[in-house]
């Protein structure tokens, strides 16, 4: 602990005690009546020399302030070479403060590259569970990567069994592509019920995160390795676009306030670095993460900066509004940052960690074209502009990771989907959901064939819950889809439903 801070806190504490004598009585008892670490620990955004460690004090997670008492609280943290913490390599203290819901974000630096560590927190005599964390490989290194990809974990629609399996995989990193929480009011006729009404205020969002974070499978998956997290719509409001809410009748002031609440609570509960924004309503989470020279992750936000969905949102016949070339999904600044970056980066693989399906999906048979206006399909000019940039700057070494739609898809991405003769330039792996949508169902050969007739770039489709695992080296990218047969009851085993490979520098995705 910083000595000056300690002395000044001690002086302030002594002054406080002189005025309020019963403070002595309170602190003479153990600080917490209940375990303050019930939300677990997490780490994220690894660099070659550090990353972020996270926890939040919440002795009674669903109560106001998580059961805390309004006082700032000191939390110590330790990073060790061994699980028994006999070889501590770094330690320090942080202050958990009520204005940030007693969350703790430790920015680690000065550690050697490409190494695993263990970490834990302590406060008021209580000790957290132990998390594993690793630094990224050194700049220039082609050390292979084993990556887990998850998204969409609706508390009410299923158990997080798949995250429990993810926690047992040999992986270096997890990318979570959003819908980490859902905003809806509690429904008693579900697998397990959300606490409270639809969430709108910062305290509502905090309580919802607290409820989700009590899940033991989610905690185990966080403790397993660092995560790189982005958000999708349900961290705020279903299908919101910029400052337009789901229902369209919210005022700009209401949406800005709701976004500020949602974005702040997101930051408080995720292992991410200090926000870059003048206000929480404008929190910019786009960032890039390097895995040595092997892979560069472009962590995208396709919600905050998008133009409103065309043609009343939903799945609609293609319309002129959707084709308006002025409409975008990333916003001009993010699009430029990404396309310039793809050109400048010398990383072996370029990885787009983003939310919505990039490949078009035509749901109408025959000549009609019916697409989801919420996906890249509803912004076809912006999609083809981005894929054209991929074709020029990082062809056949770009992989798009997608969440959002609660089904698994393997898609070959062409440089311009308005011209089917244009070459394949990238691969898209769409993960299913951890629990959203419930158990799922088998897909018949007839159904898949009908889908493929309208969408020849589609290689595979499945409607089961799970995640996918990517094994990446300089020559190839292999994706294994890991599925569970049910989530509405516990203990489903995990199986590999299918496996796919992209060869560096070659177009296309092949089954393995
Ligand atoms: Fe979702």
Cα(98) to ligand 1 centroid in Å equals: 30
pLDDT band at 31 (very low <50, low <70, confident <90, very high): confident
Cα(294) to ligand 1 centroid in Å equals: 29
- The answer to whether 336 touches 344, Cβ cutoff 8 Å, is no
Cα(159) to ligand 1 centroid in Å equals: 15
Which pLDDT score, from 0 to 100, does residue 414 have?
98
Question: What's the rounded Cα separation, in Å, for the pair 250 and 244?
Answer: 7
pLDDT band at 247 (very low <50, low <70, confident <90, very high): confident
Cα(234) to ligand 1 centroid in Å equals: 7
Question: pLDDT, tens digit, for every residue of 149-187?
Answer: 999 999 999 999 999 999 999 999 999 999 999 999 999
Cα(152) to ligand 1 centroid in Å equals: 4
- Lowest mean pLDDT, pick from 24-33, 86-95, 370-379, 466-475: 24-33
Domain extents for the chain? 1-30, 31-135, 136-511
Cα(338) to ligand 1 centroid in Å equals: 24
Question: pLDDT, tens digit, for every residue of 385-397?
Answer: 999 999 999 999 9
Question: What's the rounded Cα separation, in Å, for the pair 232 and 235?
Answer: 6
Q: Evaluate if residue 3 carries a pLDDT over 50.
A: no
- Dmax (CA) for the chain in angstroms is 81
Q: What is the mean pLDDT of residues 480-487?
A: 98
State the DSSP code for 233. Answer: S
Cα(137) to ligand 1 centroid in Å equals: 32
pLDDT band at 27 (very low <50, low <70, confident <90, very high): very low
Cα(175) to ligand 1 centroid in Å equals: 15
pLDDT band at 94 (very low <50, low <70, confident <90, very high): very high
Share of the chain above pLDDT 90, in %: 91
Question: What's the rounded Cα separation, in Å, for the pair 443 and 451?
Answer: 11
Which pLDDT score, from 0 to 100, does residue 18 have?
43
Cα(314) to ligand 1 centroid in Å equals: 14
Beta strands (DSSP E) in 81-232 are 88-96, 103-108, 116-123, 126-127, 131-134, 145-150, 173-176, 227-229
Cα(404) to ligand 1 centroid in Å equals: 5
Cα–Cα distance list, 393 to 227, 389, 489 (Å): 27, 6, 46
CATH value of 31-135 in 1.10.1660.10, 1.10.10.10, 3.40.50.300, 2.60.40.380: 2.60.40.380
Cα(370) to ligand 1 centroid in Å equals: 21
Q: By three-state DSSP, how is residue 50 classified?
A: coil
- Ligand 1 ion: Cβ-proximal residues, 5 Å cutoff: 152, 179, 436
Give the chain's end-to-end CA distance (angstroms, integer).
53
Cα(399) to ligand 1 centroid in Å equals: 21
> Which residues are CB-neighbours of 485 under 8 A, at least 6 positions away?
439, 464, 492, 493, 495
Cα–Cα distance list, 242 to 255, 259, 264, 301, 310 (Å): 9, 9, 16, 11, 13
Cα(435) to ligand 1 centroid in Å equals: 9
Q: Evaluate if residue 207 carries a pLDDT over 60.
A: yes
Domain 136-511 in CATH 3.40.960.10? The answer is: no
pLDDT band at 13 (very low <50, low <70, confident <90, very high): very low
Which pLDDT score, from 0 to 100, does residue 29 have?
52
Cα(433) to ligand 1 centroid in Å equals: 7
Judging by DSSP bridges, how do beta strands 458-472 and 145-150 pair with one another? antiparallel
Cα(161) to ligand 1 centroid in Å equals: 16
Q: What is the mean pLDDT of residues 311-338?
A: 95
Smallest Cα–Cα separation from 256: which of 269, 266, 270, 242? 242
Cα(206) to ligand 1 centroid in Å equals: 19
Cα(436) to ligand 1 centroid in Å equals: 6
Q: Evaluate if residue 6 carries a pLDDT over 70.
A: no
Cα(418) to ligand 1 centroid in Å equals: 28
- The answer to whether 110 touches 91, Cβ cutoff 8 Å, is no
Cα(239) to ligand 1 centroid in Å equals: 10
Q: Evaluate if residue 456 carries a pLDDT over 70.
A: yes
Cα(468) to ligand 1 centroid in Å equals: 16
Which pLDDT score, from 0 to 100, does residue 30 have?
64
pLDDT band at 14 (very low <50, low <70, confident <90, very high): very low
Cα(413) to ligand 1 centroid in Å equals: 22
- The answer to whether 349 touches 297, Cβ cutoff 8 Å, is no
pLDDT band at 126 (very low <50, low <70, confident <90, very high): very high
Cα(198) to ligand 1 centroid in Å equals: 16
H/E stretch holding 165 reads helix 161-166
Give ∠ CA 448-453-459 in degrees, rounded to 5.
55
């Amino acid at each position: 602990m910083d000595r000056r801070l300690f002395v000044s806190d001690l002086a302030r504490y002594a002054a406080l005690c002189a005025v309020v004598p019963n403070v002595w009585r309170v602190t003479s008892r153990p600080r917490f009546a209940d375990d303050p670490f019930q939300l677990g620990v997490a780490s994220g955004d690894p660099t070659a020399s550090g990353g972020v460690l996270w926890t939040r004090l919440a002795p009674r997670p669903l109560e106001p302030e998580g059961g805390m008492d309004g006082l700032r609280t000191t939390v110590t943290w330790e990073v060790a070479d061994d699980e028994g913490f006999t070889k501590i390599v770094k330690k320090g203290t942080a202050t958990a403060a009520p204005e940030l819901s007693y969350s703790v974000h430790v920015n680690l630096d000065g550690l050697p590259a490409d190494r695993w560590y263990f970490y834990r927190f302590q406060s008021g005599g209580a000790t957290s569970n132990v998390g594993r964390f690793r630094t990224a490989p050194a700049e220039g290194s082609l050390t292979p990567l084993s990556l887990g990809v998850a998204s969409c974990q609706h508390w009410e629609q299923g158990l997080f069994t798949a995250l429990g399996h993810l926690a047992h995989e040999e992986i270096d990193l997890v990318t979570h592509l959003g819908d980490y929480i859902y905003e809806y009011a509690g429904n008693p006729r579900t697998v397990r019920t959300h606490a409270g009404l639809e969430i709108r205020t910062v305290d509502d969002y905090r309580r919802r995160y607290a409820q989700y974070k009590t899940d033991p499978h989610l905690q185990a998956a966080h403790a397993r390795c660092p995560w790189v997290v982005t958000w999708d719509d349900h961290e705020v409001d279903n299908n919101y676009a910029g400052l337009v809410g789901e229902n369209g009748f919210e005022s700009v002031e209401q949406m800005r306030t709701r976004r500020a609440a949602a974005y702040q609570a997101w930051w408080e509960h995720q292992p991410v670095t200090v926000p870059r924004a003048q206000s929480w309503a404008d929190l910019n989470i786009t960032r890039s993460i390097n895995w040595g020279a092997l892979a560069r992750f472009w962590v995208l936000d396709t919600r905050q900066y998008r133009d409103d969905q065309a043609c009343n949102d939903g799945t609609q016949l293609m319309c002129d509004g959707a084709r308006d070339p002025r409409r975008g999904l990333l916003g001009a600044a993010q699009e430029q940052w990404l396309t310039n970056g793809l050109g400048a980066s010398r990383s072996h693989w370029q990885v787009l960690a983003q939310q919505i399906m990039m490949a078009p999906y035509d749901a109408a048979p025959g000549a009609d074209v019916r697409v989801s206006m919420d996906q890249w399909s509803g912004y076809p000019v912006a999609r083809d502009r981005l894929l054209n940039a991929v074709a020029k700057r990082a062809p056949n070494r770009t992989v798009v990771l997608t969440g959002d739609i609660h089904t698994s898809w393997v898609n070959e991405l062409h440089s311009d989907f308005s011209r089917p003769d244009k070459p394949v330039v990238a691969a898209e792996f769409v993960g299913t959901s951890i629990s959203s949508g419930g158990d799922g169902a088998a897909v018949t050969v007839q159904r898949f064939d009908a889908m493929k007739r309208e969408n020849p770039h589609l290689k595979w489709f499945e409607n089961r819950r799970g995640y996918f695992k990517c094994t990446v080296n300089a020559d190839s990218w292999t994706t294994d889809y890991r599925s569970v047969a049910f989530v509405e009851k516990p203990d489903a085993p995990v199986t590999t439903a299918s496996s796919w490979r992209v060869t560096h520098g070659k177009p296309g995705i092949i089954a393995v």
